[in-house]
Structure 1
Amino acid sequence: MNPSPSVLYRQPVVVTREQHAGHRVAPVRDWRVAQGLNAVPVTAIEFIEAAREFPIAFVPAGQDAQGRVQVSPVVLLGLREGENLFVGPAGEWQATYLPAFLRRYPFAYAATDEGTLNLVVDAAWPGFGGASGDEVLDAAGEPTPVLQAVLQLLDNFERETVRTRVLCDRLVALDLLRGGEIQGALPDGQPLSAGGFYMIDEARLATLPDEAVIELHRLGLLGLIHAHRVSMGHVQTLARRLGVQ
């Protein structure tokens, strides 16, 4: 699964008063910019809505100080590398829910070596810096209401990402994840296989001690686990979409 931001942000540049005062940004209507993403990150607060339309899985995200694998949740948008099945031929988004990872585009935060965050924008996207859309910074270089709304979205996304990381660490600590693999066939009979992700280990979950189950409940993790389990039924939705292309 490939949730790499570099596929989406082709030319990220830091937004500055000197360079971008008076620049405009248009709403993203053409999502072909994301057609190479077969998965995108999702935060815990999004699980319930996302689970109604997409499979939610977990992918490797480095290691912690003890050498244990860290994971991050993603929504699966395709079953093959470089293929997003929710982008239509004219760039229309073919789902009700749009993950926050994409809603923030063409903006994002980028961490500096000192650990601070810079606002960046994808300068390769034609909707930024053109004649249409709303100003990002006014003539004095101050954030406009449009940019203030973007910053609020980015702040919320960063905060929820940190919270989600803590929750995922508990899943790893409780040994509740196992390697996942999708095996099946397309409607025309062609074999289908996809892997490289983790999913909840049903057997391990069923044998958790009562105190661990109570802990998961109090952390709000049980609801997320159930949303993930239900969401995996949408793998067949992806297979059907792939079969009619």
Structure 2
Amino acid sequence: MKKPYTIVALLLTCIAICIIFTFTFIKEFSEHWEIFALVMMIFTISIMFLQFERGKMTSKEISLVAILSGFSAVSRVPFAAIPSIQPCTYIIICTGYVFGPIAGFMVGAATALVSNIFLGQGPWTIFQMFAWGAVGATSSILPKLKIKGVGIVVFGVIWGYLFGWIMNLWYWMLYIYPHTFLTFLFTMVNSVWFDTLHALGNAVFLVFLGEKTIGILKRYKHRFHVEYAPHLQASKSTEHAFKIAEE
């Protein structure tokens, strides 16, 4: 479930979008580059879904991803009345932290798709799927870097702002004109308060529920993997035989 190249694919997509930004602002590369950016996001999401489909996962692992996706989506609905306070982000972070980038991305993308059935589908759904999927995929890096506790909370705060910036992209592309650096910067500044609420919400959920949730998911994960070590079994049997002989 832990495929490092999936994270690389996400980062390359983000870099590609940034390059397009540069060409747009400096050389007026294209008047409709946003269509290409949208296609890149859809392509990345499709690659992740295909990787999940072709991955070697047991029925228990697939069912767990489905359960976490449903729980994450449902947790978002009651908080819809509170701007940007979304417990689903912390659930996605915990999922990616324990089960790797593919599971993290799937739970993140499914959260947006399923919850928007109740909250409303639209052009923003693709960007939400990409943003939350990126949250889950990148959180798989944390255990490899041995980041725990406060580090996970800081990670959640950072993604509170990054998520908002990705969502600002679709709003800026569809509703703001002309597409210049100043109009883009203005759009970013206007969302600071909402992004801050999202970041604070992530911090609160991760502080009070993060370690407990990760612990529960780790214990459940251990049930999926059975390692056969005959040399250990033999050594234990020999040790047991010596104890009987001594008695």
Q: TM-score, normalised by structure 1?
A: 0.31
Choose between structure 1 and 2 for higher RCO, CA contacts under 8 A separated by at least 6 residues.
1
Structure ranking higher in helix proportion: 2
Query: Greater strand share, 1 or 2?
Result: 1
TM-score normalised by the chain length of structure 2: 0.31
Larger radius of gyration: 2
